[in-house]
Amino acid sequence: LPQLGRETLHEWSTLSYPSLVKELCSLFIGPELIPRDDLNDLIDRAFSRFRHREVVHLSRLRNGLNVLELWHGVTYAFKDLSLCCTAQFLQYFLEKRKRHITVVVGTSGDTGSAAIESVQGAKNVDIIVLLPKGHCTKIQELQMTTVLRENVHVFGVEGNSDELDEPIKTVFADMAFVKKHNLMSLNSINWSRVLVQIAHHFFAYFRCAPSLDMHPLPPVEVVVPTGAAGNLAALPAVVWLLPLQPSSRRLCGLPG
């Protein structure tokens, strides 16, 4: 992991959420992969359809409790934030390499609609979403089944999302089949999704910490509700911030 000093944190603490995402991504996506101007444009494009001007907003409640609002994307899911960036990066490389891929997604509801939203209309991407019948909310089902784009294909299937994972794993285990049909997925452990989600924790810390001039830095507790691996995105933030925290306290991500 890149080393972040107090000076960098001070500079980042005044940034908007999109600008913070740009700084974080540039640590891992060098100019030889995506020139910085192009990277900035891709991230701006990714967040262009969010309803809140800040993209992510911190609401201050009573008794020191704050809620980070991650639901201002098109599908109202926190996954809009990372998937919209991932899709922009993906299309950038596909256009450069003149390639086409097919994304296969199994969903419990929010991943499917957020993935569809991120790539709908993309000329280099087809997306196949397997929708477990009767296991998603009506809104999520409509978000997936009413997108009338040639590159979007949604199929209703029997069983829940966990049962759906098994045939998808079997497909991706067949490397010859995957290579022949240019398949990929956009699951929760896709690195570019995790990379963008790291920004949530830095942004929340900067908005909640009383001052970055204190030594050591003041502790902030972060609670992360998660159904699967969403809280993994906290780990790099913890690694970066812990050395600057008091030894008796910690910044933590707690699975819900």
Query: Is 79 one of the annotated active-site residues of the chain?
Result: yes
Of the chain, the end-to-end C-alpha distance in Å amounts to 27
Q: Are 73 and 46 in contact (CB under 8 A)?
A: no
Contact of 70 with 24, CB cutoff 8 Å: no
Instruction: Give the integer Cα–Cα distance in Å for 43 and 254.
Output: 28
The string of DSSP letters for 144-204 reads HHS---TTEEEEEESS-HHHHHHHHHHHHH-HHHHHHHTEE---TT-HHHHHHHHHHHHHH
User: What span, in angstroms and rounded, lies between the C-alpha atoms of 198 and 55?
Assistant: 15
DSSP string, 51-85: SSTTSSEEEE-STT-EEEE---STTSSTHHHHHHH
Return the closest-CA partner of residue 117 out of 79, 155, 91: 79
Peptide bond just before 255 cis, omega within 30 deg = no
- State the catalytic residue, choosing from 22, 79, 96, 133: 79
Alpha carbons 48 and 74: distance in angstroms, whole number:
10
Instruction: Give the residue numbers marked as catalytic.
Output: 79
